[in-house]
Copies of this chain bind each other. A is one copy, B any other.
């Protein structure tokens, strides 16, 4: 029974804190004490706070890409349209069971760091490319099988991502409980892309 290494434990704690309170408002001491170690230990495993953040992001990236690839390995769809709706529903589902991942990705610091830190930028690009390609692929398949109308798959994929992301954000800012919007969102997307000859 190989117990979780401290390095992994640090990353797990940091994921929750960075996602929930942001980079600047999370102190290394806090990460340490919640992990059950002493502050200086983190600096043995990670040279700087920024390096810890990038490791956290890398971890999220890996988890996210894996989750989606697993989903598409297991699910099969009668049409491109159904595949798209399935992807959207799974995206929403994942954003509920792995809130931290999506909060972290939406943190401003993540994007600001990506502008100056190549490693950070690479991870972020992998994530976004993955998310967009999922939608785009479904759209392409749907155009081939006739379930999806004639539209720019690339642009539409971006719009759908923005839409899903916007809904997740509405919910996380809980001004309105967006949860009740899920089925309406799927219906809206269907109307938006389906082929109505």
Binding site for B on A (CB under 8 A): 22, 24-25, 107-108, 111, 124-125, 128, 149, 151-152, 155-156, 158-159, 161-167, 169-170, 173, 175-176, 178, 180-181, 184-185, 187-188, 191-193, 196
Q: Which of B24, B167, B169 contacts A159 (CB 8 A)?
A: B167
Contact of A24 (CB < 8 Å), options: B25, B173, B185:
B25
User: Considering the chains assembled together, what is the distance between the CA atoms of A34 and B121 in angstroms?
Assistant: 30
In the complex, the chain B residue whose C-beta lies closest to that of A189 is: B192
| Contacts A107-B108, A158-B178 known; 11 new A-B pairs at CB < 8 A | A125-B175, A155-B181, A158-B170, A158-B181, A161-B166, A161-B170, A162-B166, A165-B166, A166-B166, A166-B169, A188-B192
Q: List 20 A-B contacts (CB under 8 A).
A: A107-B108, A124-B175, A149-B191, A151-B187, A152-B184, A155-B180, A158-B178, A158-B181, A159-B167, A159-B181, A162-B163, A162-B166, A162-B178, A162-B181, A164-B166, A165-B169, A166-B167, A169-B169, A191-B191, A191-B193
Considering the chains assembled together, what is the distance between the CA atoms of A155 and B178 in angstroms? 9
CA distance A91 to B145 in the complex (A): 36
Give the oligomeric copy count: 2
Shortest distance from the beta carbon of A28 to any chain B beta carbon, whole Å: 15
On whether the beta carbons of B165 and A188 are closer than 8 Å, the reply is no
The 7 lowest CB-CB distance pairs between A and B, nearest first, are A162-B166, A166-B166, A155-B184, A24-B24, A163-B163, A111-B173, A192-B192
- Please, how many angstroms separate the alpha-carbon atoms of A25 and B107 in the complex? 14
Q: CB-CB < 8 A to A176: which residues of B? A: 128, 158
